[in-house]
Chains A and B, each alone.
Chain A
Amino acid sequence: MSSAAVEARTDGGIHRRVEHVMGMPISLAMRGRYAATAEADRAWQSVIDQLREVDQVFSTYGEDSVINRLDRGELALEQCPAEVAEVLQLGREAEQLSDGAFSIMLPSASGRRRLDPSGVVKGWALQRASQFLAALHDTDYCLSGGGDIVCHTANLSRPEWRIGIEHPHNPKALIAVVPIRSGAIATSGTAHRAAHLIDPRTGRGPSGIASVSVIEASLTWADIDATAAYVHGQDAVEWLQARPIRSALLVWADGTTTRLPADLNT
């Protein structure tokens, strides 16, 4: 009951669905022509099915997942599903663009670097799965996987989706609201998992920064850029300014904020 302090918008006929995949909640809000129909149910099922398949291939938790067998050398890249090469390529691009702040080869307890593309997979998989929803004519959707979100508005006469950004120091409060018609927002930080993001160059977590939210056209890159910016710590603003983002919100360890582009602060 205590968590029910938020009221969903009831105007506009928003229909919601939730499932758990990849160890995180997948939430969907829909409105418009097909939002409440069997077509929407089928599209939603396709989203969930595809995310489950992705999880089976890319999970670093499952001993026998494709990605772990690839890491151990039991599989060659050519023997893996085509998506594996696509994700690894994204990971390499991200590593280059972030000066190494983002990497899919992460230090592990054993000291050996381990193949872990999780940082690419989530945003990429959600963006890809959202295509099933985009196929519903005249229907808007807002798809969230553990707090990273793809928004789409099919008819511009309907309002933007309103996305609340969680306060990194208090997960029950919001620090900002962002209206997004079509686009994606990803937030990186440590609010829910203690220091799960580490700098691949040092093996330590960044300091000085509490969370980074990035708004871009695609969740694939919003997610990568939010993670890389967070790992950049104090240098996050400078690094993000060179990225093709639409907007960003940085929350510092002391609770102060910086918005990008810079004129949003005035």
Chain B
Amino acid sequence: MRRIVIWLASTITIVVLLFGYHTSTNKTSAAAVPSSASSPSTTTSSEPSTSPSTTNKTYQGSVAQTRWGPVQVQITVQSGKITKVTIMQQPNGNRRDAEINDQAVPILINETIQTQSANIDMVSGATVTSEGYVESLQAALDEAGI
């Protein structure tokens, strides 16, 4: 358990460093690491079995307040090894945030997309004017959601 806490603390430090790295115009970086990182809360994602060493356990770090916003890390441990690191919360509105999100996103093309079942939140299309709006799919979405 102690090792895990150390792992977790260092992971948070790394993440905070990560956010702090890209700050040529900002002087502070890792110095912003709060002491709260040393008091992680622990949750178990599955029922504890008789052999806990093979059980997946997740540990959530405390929310670290950085100058870019809150950072929170969750790790999943199996058989004493970290199998997954998830950033639960990350700051918004800064460059590093944009870069972390910079992977290509999948575009799901389906010749038979049924708009009824597409389960979408918003529609992107060539400029919809206010005149054309009433007839648009977006209007239907907005109407359905209000």
Contact = CB atoms under 8 A, between A and B. Distances in A.
A54 interface: no
Interface string B104-127: 111111100101111111111111
B140 A147 contact: no
A18 B142 contact: yes
- Interface footprint category on A: 35 or more
Contact of B137 (A164, A181, A189): A164
B141 interface: yes
Interface stretch (A78-86, A97-105, A168-176, A233-241): A168-176
Contacts of A25: 128, 130, 133, 136, 138-139, 142
Contacts of A261: 104
Contacts of A249: 107, 109
Contacts of B31: none
B144 to A, nearest CB: 4
A172 B122 contact: no
A149 B128 contact: no
Interface stretch (A38-46, A55-63, A153-161): A153-161
Contact of A171 (B98, B136, B145): B136
A262 B128 CA distance: 29
A148 interface: yes
B129 interface: yes
A242 interface: no
Contacts of B92: 134, 152, 154, 182
A106 interface: no
A112 interface: no
Contact of A190 (B105, B126, B141): B126
A182 B134 CA distance: 28
B138 A155 contact: no
A15 B145 CA distance: 7
Contacts of B36: none
A25 B126 CA distance: 13
B101 interface: yes
Contacts of A3: 134-137, 139-140
Given A9-B120, A134-B93, A174-B123, A164 B142 contact: no
Interface stretch (B6-14, B22-30, B82-90): B82-90
B143 interface: yes
Contacts of B90: 156
Interface of B: 86-90, 92-93, 97-99, 101-110, 113, 115-130, 132-146
Interface of A: 3-10, 14-18, 20, 23-25, 27, 29, 122, 131, 134, 142, 144, 146-149, 151-152, 154-157, 161-166, 168, 171-183, 185-193, 196, 211, 213, 215, 217-218, 246-247, 249, 257, 259, 261, 264
7 contacts: A8-B141, A24-B133, A163-B124, A164-B123, A171-B125, A176-B109, A264-B106
Q: Which 9 residue pairs across A and B have the least CB separation, nearest first?
A: A166-B125, A189-B126, A16-B145, A217-B98, A164-B120, A8-B144, A147-B125, A8-B145, A191-B126
